Amino acid sequence: MSLTPRETAITIRGLRKAFGGQPVYSGFDLDVRRGDILAIFGPNGCGKSTLINMAAGLLPRDGGEILYDGREVSEIRVGYVFQNYREALFPWRRAAENIRYPMRRMGLPAAQVEQRLQGLAERFRVRFDLNRYPYELSGGQQQLVSIMRALAVEPEVLFLDEPFSALDFETTLSLRDLLQRVLKELGITTILVSHDLEESIILADRLLMLTRRPTTVADDVPIDLPWPRQAEALASPGFVALKARCLDVFQKAVAA
Amino acid sequence: MSLTPRETAITIRGLRKAFGGQPVYSGFDLDVRRGDILAIFGPNGCGKSTLINMAAGLLPRDGGEILYDGREVSEIRVGYVFQNYREALFPWRRAAENIRYPMRRMGLPAAQVEQRLQGLAERFRVRFDLNRYPYELSGGQQQLVSIMRALAVEPEVLFLDEPFSALDFETTLSLRDLLQRVLKELGITTILVSHDLEESIILADRLLMLTRRPTTVADDVPIDLPWPRQAEALASPGFVALKARCLDVFQKAVAA
Amino acid sequence: MRALTGPALGALGFVLLWQLAVLLRVADPILLPPPAEAFAETWRGFADGTLAHDTWRTVQRTGLAFLIASAIGVPLGVALGAQEKLYRGVEFVVDFFRSTPASALFPLFLILFGPGEGTKVAVAAFGAALVILFNAAYGVINARRTRVLAARIMGASGPRILVDVLIWEALPQILVGMRSGISLALVIVVVAEMFIGSTDGLGHRVINAQMLFESGLMYGVIFVAGALGYALNLLFILLEKRFVHWSGR
Amino acid sequence: MRALTGPALGALGFVLLWQLAVLLRVADPILLPPPAEAFAETWRGFADGTLAHDTWRTVQRTGLAFLIASAIGVPLGVALGAQEKLYRGVEFVVDFFRSTPASALFPLFLILFGPGEGTKVAVAAFGAALVILFNAAYGVINARRTRVLAARIMGASGPRILVDVLIWEALPQILVGMRSGISLALVIVVVAEMFIGSTDGLGHRVINAQMLFESGLMYGVIFVAGALGYALNLLFILLEKRFVHWSGR
Amino acid sequence: ADRVRVAVFNVSSALPYYVAAERGFFAAEGIEASATPLQAAPLIVQAMVAGDVEAASNLVTLEGANINSRRANTAVYISLNGQNAQYQMEQFVVRPGYPAQSLRDLKGARILSAPGPANLSAAKAVLAAVGLQEGRDYSIQEQQMGVHVGALAAGTFDAAYTLEPVATIAERAGAARRLEAGVIATHLLGRPEAQAFAAGAALTGKFLQEKPDVARRFANAWSKACALITSDAASVRPLLVQHMQTSAELAPTVPLVAFRMVRDLSPQDIADFQKFVDLAVAQGVVRSAIPVGSFLRAL
Ligand SMILES: Nc1ncnc2c1ncn2[C@@H]1O[C@H](COP(=O)(O)OP(=O)(O)OP(=O)(O)O)[C@@H](O)[C@H]1O
Ligand SMILES: Nc1ncnc2c1ncn2[C@@H]1O[C@H](COP(=O)(O)OP(=O)(O)OP(=O)(O)O)[C@@H](O)[C@H]1O
Ligand SMILES: [Mg+2]
Ligand SMILES: [Mg+2]
């Protein structure tokens, strides 16, 4: 896929990373278009978390560069839902305080912080008490708080590392709808890691399939299903064809 | 469902548990038949982890009793894959050592420990180096190690709290097959918590659907699909009917 | 209430052990008087008000020294812990002075602070600050990385991460450090009261009792000092119960 | 190699500060001699072998005291930490003695261990053991619950959980405690060498130098003691780097 | 009034200071004295060097000799405290059951000594003078003053080279029997009637030079106090209880040293003092030979 510079929100060039001498990435390139949702689908340990950790500036890279419309990651507003969401919440703050935190850091006035918190709680249909501490919440509840925290600041770029892994059936469904709406509305460029192929297709503008280590791109699939994509979309012929293509690539490149 | 005492592996009677005065369980009864795989399906925060934590003797209960064929949990061999698998591995031991640990505790001779470890690594098709420390593994790899550790001792009762949440597409599929085979072969009584309805149905002898707090049983569905259940079973009419029934119950009792 | 039974039993057991040692005549009663005698003498000391005054002076000095030590040790320790390389640099100085007897530092501090109150408080504050700093730094060095990363992602600057994450992550160990620190401050204050320019304080009283061979009173005063140490620690035990609700989860 | 630049820079900075204080004439040179003089005198002490002997004696005593303290403090601390209620009971005694100057304990230990080497090592071991115990217990109290639960599920008995999980969970803090402990043992040994019957050791040397107003030598010996403290700590810094690879993850 | 800060080591040899203060001798000379309690000789010397005090009420003379040999005129004595068999201070005692009748009988004894290199070497020198050698004939170990009575009572040691008031207390408690007092004068200076001047009142050289008049008046007050102690000790002994950590029952009888103004010393006294210091030099307790006249001032 070739994009004009103006359209690109994230540019990754020549990315290199090795752990203990064994390379995970050796010269990886990627461009993500502004406002796109990029889903990354790949086997365990292929380097998905490593990739977004480097993109988010949390992990030093061995080489290459990652730029956001020419800027460093420190210059942009980022949202991140960690794969280990449990350890990323602050246990000394109540859930609500955890969500307020990035908004405070952004300097939002108190009134607006409360308003956004209210809005999030409603849209996420939170049924538990946000005034509890993270360790008093169930796994899924913690993950939900994590997602709310990441969205609270309306980031320019959002990284979601298996954000639905602990959510229940219903919440997952409603959150897919919600995210679609919010991300598209606000034009947030998103990288989503998911092990659920249907979910990846339903949510993404583009699906990147990665191989095992040493990691390369097995396929780069544009998903041009119409938005919004309701549950019914799962049965549409376009969807079925895409899924079949992906499964095919997967069988050949990954499972082999 | 009514079982004769001899058939029952797990008997829960009058279970009560409250957090901060708010009840999660107030008089919960359950019998699990020996060798059965019981899937529990329920919304976030309804008390699934709480239930198996109490069953495994890790969380004190406020009232009621949980017996294993008349014995206390301390008298039987238990396997447990924690929902927060990351925090349950020992970071000071290498992955292989983590898996050896319960076998050593059981007093297995060294040779047998190694043999089982080999066997597990093969059956689980481990593609990463088990000689690394848990924190050097990706999320999915850690979860896999967790499952291997729980299965290593061929437990009498196995608790699986969302054991596939971080596993990739392929691993999940192959693990479903593997677990089916192993659990049925060894007759391990299993309680599986999962948010994936298809997965629950494919793997279970019986599906328990729970409501939101205060938690009650919305439906108790026997799954009498024939074993072994391959991927094709997903398309069988029996499966489709069951799934429809469950979704229906879910819409009425939970999502409402 | 129930929280107090443990310590109370501990203190009781300790006194019983003492009595037992006396009964077994582990040592001559001149050296090790029975607890009853020590308490009687101590009680007399409190009754005429002088011992209460001495205790109060020691508490004041210890409190002041500890406050200074915490005000310096906690922020500096947390900040240094966040910059491990920098910490390794100052570690020499920290370990150096932690390994030097306070009494060997008296001359130096006398030079700097003169033979008055200043020196006593300063030496104690210095000693306690080192311990607090050391523990705070280690608390931070051993903090969980994910939380720091999460804060960074949410736009927290370096100093904010210090205040919002690292201090909290290190809090259990900071409290351990503060408890070590307050005990050490008390010890140094008492020793200083023994040696440098003092007309009051528990240390002064111990030295007096020792010179007068009132071993009952001497052990009584030492007991008061130790119990005072426990009481000061108790503050932190309570603080910890109150504020470190998340530890271990 | 590079690991040593930090401490080396730290030591250098410390000496420069000292020199600066001398240049600014913070104090009379008789009281605070220039570092060069201190080093010259110390060098002479080493050259004629006596100071090396004194250092070695102090190292021996400290090492022995520390080994005893660790052998008692670590297992007891871990075991008590695992039984928080029990720990709250003995906490009084622990905090009590942590808050009592070692010098106040000399008479008592003299009774129990007689004059001679025994007392010095015993007091130092006692003091260090308390600190190590206290830190180990806290390390365990603040351990992550899930890992304990996981071990329990896998059939580990109480003592096994202690050995297989709690010690490891508490290891970072146990090491902090051991470092506090070894410094404290050194301090107490030096103080004991100063005040109770000694014919060798750094403390004995300090007192002699002090008496003769050889303040160059005195500060030199104190510097040796402090540097020795750092060296002993260094052991643990290296141990930690080596063994606590998982901390913070 | 002129302020004079005095470092005070709170033991009975500080008596002149409290007499002068309480009896108004300082006030009469227009001096406002204030005490800085410091319980260690090196700290007192340091305070004098640093200018934190102008005087010391009872500074150990060997410490004084040491600092003066490093820097002349740091601590100049205006009075000395003499001790011997009559003015008891240093002495050998034995535990009750121990058979020794004279110093020579200490062969085989475990001996404890008052702390500090000076005391330890004095004890060894005295024992050497009676023909006993450390290691071969006896063992000796320094101990804090506070544990002497107990260590004897407990039988941890057989004998002690100790100081007043510990010796008297031990004797009264039945923990010790006096063997011989004033051993330095008898065995080291060689004349039982000689005085061993182990401590005294000192002024800083700077103070003497800058305020000679105040120093002279201070010495006057001091001299009056010494005189009063010599003439009527009983009337001032209560001060021991009040200020110098002496128990009430002990105060009337505890031995006191001989407080002598330097101006009243005889040439023999000075020679004795020189010998005392020279012995210390020989033992390595004083760093280098020094004429005592250089730090004595007859005021
Ligand atoms: N600190 C480390 N030391 C050594 N190897 C590491 C380290 N961290 C990660 N790895 C390895 O790097 C690879 C990529 O890890 P990463 O966590 O990015 O995988 P992932 O794609 O996110 O997998 P998953 O789907 O399981 O989360 C893995 O094979 C892992 O074992
Ligand atoms: N320590 C605690 N204090 C207070 N409430 C708690 C505590 N632990 C759990 N809870 C509450 O108990 C309920 C049950 O929690 P549990 O973890 O069992 O849920 P779950 O069914 O496993 O959910 P999930 O699917 O999200 O894992 C939740 O509502 C949770 O908020
Ligand atoms: Mg990952
Ligand atoms: Mg759960």
Mutate to test the interface with D, among E110, E120, E147 (most CBs of D within 10 A): E147
- Write the pLDDT tens digit of every residue in E116-139: 888 888 999 999 999 999 889 998
- Write the pLDDT tens digit of every residue in B6-46: 678 899 999 999 998 889 998 899 999 999 999 999 999 99
Q: Is B86 in the pocket of ligand 1 (CB under 6 A)?
A: no
Residues of chain C with Cβ-Cβ distance to D104 below 8 Å are 190, 206, 222, 225
- Write the pLDDT tens digit of every residue in A175-200: 998 998 899 888 999 999 999 988 89
Confidence at residue C182, expressed as pLDDT on a 0 to 100 scale? 94
Report how far residue B76's alpha carbon sits from residue B79's, in angstroms, rounded to the nearest whole number: 10
- Write the pLDDT tens digit of every residue in B46-62: 999 999 999 999 999 99
Closest CA to A78 of D95, C152, D24: C152
What is the pLDDT confidence band of residue A137, given thresholds at 50, 70 and 90? Answer: very high
What is the pLDDT confidence band of residue A3, given thresholds at 50, 70 and 90? Answer: low
B139·A162 Cβ contact <8 A: yes
Q: Percentage of residues in chain D with pLDDT exceeding 70? A: 98
User: For the residues A18-44, what does the mean pLDDT come to?
Assistant: 91
What is the pLDDT confidence band of residue C1, given thresholds at 50, 70 and 90? Answer: very low
Among C62-66, D110-114, E232-236, the least confident range: D110-114
Confidence at residue C30, expressed as pLDDT on a 0 to 100 scale? 67
Ligand 2 atom closest to A142 (CA): 26
- A191 Cα–ligand 3 center, Å: 13
What is the three-state SS of chain D? CHHHHHHHHHHHHHHHHHHHHHHCCCCCCCCCCCHHHHHHHHHHHHHCCHHHHHHHHHHHHHHHHHHHHHHHHHHHHHHHHHCHHHHHHHHHHHHHHHCCCHHHHHHHHHHHHCCCHHHHHHHHHHHHHHHHHHHHHHHHHCCCHHHHHHHHHCCCCHHHHHHHHHHHHHHHHHHHHHHHHHHHHHHHHHHHHHHCCCCCCHHHHHHHHHHCCCHHHHHHHHHHHHHHHHHHHHHHHHHHHHHCCCCCC
Indicate whether D5 pLDDT > 80. Answer: no
Q: What is the mean pLDDT of chain E?
A: 89
Higher pLDDT, E275 or B231: E275
**Does the beta carbon of B238 lie under 8 angstroms from any beta carbon of chain D?**
no
Confidence at residue E153, expressed as pLDDT on a 0 to 100 scale? 82
- Write the pLDDT tens digit of every residue in C96-116: 999 998 888 888 888 888 877
Confidence at residue B95, expressed as pLDDT on a 0 to 100 scale? 95
**Does the beta carbon of D240 lie under 8 angstroms from any beta carbon of chain B?**
no
Q: Which of E42, E150, E245 minimises the CB distance to C30? A: E150
Among A251-255, B226-230, D149-153, the least confident range: A251-255
**Does the beta carbon of C230 lie under 8 angstroms from any beta carbon of chain E?**
no
User: Domains (ranges, CATH) in chain D?
Assistant: 53-243 (1.10.3720.10)
Locate A194 and state its tokens. Answer: 């998911």
What is the number of other CB atoms lying within 10 angstroms of the CB of residue C203? 31
- B29 Cα–ligand 2 center, Å: 19
Q: What is the mean pLDDT of chain D?
A: 88
Chains in contact with chain B (at least 3 beta-carbon pairs closer than 8 A):
A, D
Confidence at residue B234, expressed as pLDDT on a 0 to 100 scale? 80
Confidence at residue D1, expressed as pLDDT on a 0 to 100 scale? 47
Indicate whether A112 pLDDT > 70. Answer: yes
Q: Is A52 in the pocket of ligand 1 (CB under 6 A)?
A: no
C226·D96 Cβ contact <8 A: yes
CA distance to partner chain A, nearest, from residue B141 (Å): 6
Indicate whether A80 pLDDT > 60. Answer: yes
Cα A30 from chain centroid (whole Å)? 16
Report how far residue D103's alpha carbon sits from residue D93's, in angstroms, rounded to the nearest whole number: 18
Locate C131 and state its tokens. Answer: 């311990």
CA distance to partner chain A, nearest, from residue C231 (Å): 27
* Cβ contacts of E22 within 8 Å, gap of 6 or more: E239
Pairing type for strands A8-19 and E258-261 reads unpaired
Confidence at residue D208, expressed as pLDDT on a 0 to 100 scale? 83
User: For the residues D191-210, what does the mean pLDDT come to?
Assistant: 84
Q: Which of D149, D154, D246 minimises the CB distance to B101? A: D154
Confidence at residue A6, expressed as pLDDT on a 0 to 100 scale? 61
Q: Is A215 in the pocket of ligand 1 (CB under 6 A)?
A: no
Confidence at residue B2, expressed as pLDDT on a 0 to 100 scale? 54
Among B98-102, C145-149, C245-249, E227-231, the least confident range: C245-249
Closest CA to C69 of C196, C166, C183: C183
- A44 Cα–ligand 1 center, Å: 8
Indicate whether B3 pLDDT > 70. Answer: no
- D249 Cα–ligand 1 center, Å: 14
D32·C108 Cβ contact <8 A: yes
Q: Rounded to 5 degrees, what angle do the CA atoms E283, E286, E292 make? A: 115
Q: Is B131 in the pocket of ligand 1 (CB under 6 A)?
A: no
Indicate whether E67 pLDDT > 70. Answer: yes
- Write the pLDDT tens digit of every residue in B74-91: 889 999 999 988 889 999
Indicate whether D137 pLDDT > 60. Answer: yes
Q: What is the mean pLDDT of chain B?
A: 89
User: For the residues C17-42, what does the mean pLDDT come to?
Assistant: 81
What DSSP letter does each residue of C94-117 carry, written as one string?
A: HHHHHTS-HHHHHHHHHHHH-TTH
Indicate whether B66 pLDDT > 60. Answer: yes
Confidence at residue D197, expressed as pLDDT on a 0 to 100 scale? 66
User: For the residues D183-195, what does the mean pLDDT come to?
Assistant: 91
What is the pLDDT confidence band of residue C117, given thresholds at 50, 70 and 90? Answer: confident
Confidence at residue A93, expressed as pLDDT on a 0 to 100 scale? 94
- Write the pLDDT tens digit of every residue in D33-57: 888 888 998 888 888 888 999 999 9
Q: Is A137 in the pocket of ligand 2 (CB under 6 A)?
A: yes
What is the pLDDT confidence band of residue A256, given thresholds at 50, 70 and 90? Answer: low
Chains C–D, number of C-beta pairs less than 8 Å apart = 202
What is the pLDDT confidence band of residue C200, given thresholds at 50, 70 and 90? Answer: confident
Residues of B (30-69) whose Cβ lies below 8 Å from D: 56-58
User: For the residues A65-85, what does the mean pLDDT come to?
Assistant: 90
Confidence at residue C18, expressed as pLDDT on a 0 to 100 scale? 84
Enumerate the β-bridge partners of residue E7.
E36, E56
- Write the pLDDT tens digit of every residue in E94-116: 998 899 899 999 988 999 998 88
Higher pLDDT, B50 or A230: B50
Ligand 2 atom closest to A140 (CA): 26
Nearest-10 Cα torsion for E264, E268, E270, E273? -120
What is the pLDDT confidence band of residue C240, given thresholds at 50, 70 and 90? Answer: confident
Where do the DSSP E strands lie in chain C?
A: none
- D150 Cα–ligand 4 center, Å: 16
Confidence at residue A5, expressed as pLDDT on a 0 to 100 scale? 57
Residues of chain D with Cβ-Cβ distance to E110 below 8 Å are 115
Q: What is the mean pLDDT of chain C?
A: 87
Q: Is A216 in the pocket of ligand 1 (CB under 6 A)?
A: no
Indicate whether C183 pLDDT > 90. Answer: yes
What is the pLDDT confidence band of residue B5, given thresholds at 50, 70 and 90? Answer: low
Q: Is B101 in the pocket of ligand 1 (CB under 6 A)?
A: no
Indicate whether C2 pLDDT > 60. Answer: no
Q: Is B211 in the pocket of ligand 2 (CB under 6 A)?
A: no
Pairing type for strands B37-41 and B206-210 reads parallel
What is the pLDDT confidence band of residue C3, given thresholds at 50, 70 and 90? Answer: low
3-state class (DSSP) for residue C74: helix
Confidence at residue B226, expressed as pLDDT on a 0 to 100 scale? 83
* Cβ contacts of D122 within 8 Å, gap of 6 or more: D65, D109, D112, D113
Contact between E202 and E6 (Cβ < 8 Å)? no
- B135 Cα–ligand 1 center, Å: 9
Chain E nearest-CA residue for D26: E50
Confidence at residue D79, expressed as pLDDT on a 0 to 100 scale? 93
Q: Do chains B and E touch (3 or more CB pairs under 8 A)?
A: no
**Does the beta carbon of C171 lie under 8 angstroms from any beta carbon of chain A?**
yes
User: Domains (ranges, CATH) in chain A?
Assistant: 1-74+192-256 (3.40.50.300)
Report how far residue B110's alpha carbon sits from residue B120's, in angstroms, rounded to the nearest whole number: 15
User: For the residues A38-57, what does the mean pLDDT come to?
Assistant: 92
What is the three-state SS of chain B? CCCCHHHEEEEEEEEEEEECCEEEEEEEEEEEECCCEEEEECCCCCCHHHHHHHHCCCCCCCEEEEEECCECHHHCCEEEECCCHHHHCCCCCCHHHHHHHHHHHHCCCHHHHHHHHHHHHHHCCCCCCCCCCHHHCCHHHHHHHHHHHHHHCCCCEEEEECCCCCCCHHHHHHHHHHHHHHHHHHCCEEEEECCCHHHHHHHCCEEEEECCCCCCEEEEEECCCCCCCCHHHHHCHHHHHHHHHHHHHHHHHHCC
Contact between B170 and A254 (Cβ < 8 Å)? yes
- Could you tell me if residue D155 is left (phi over 0), alpha (psi between -120 and 50 degrees) or otherwise beta? left
Q: Give the residue carrying structure tokens 């050391």.
A: C134
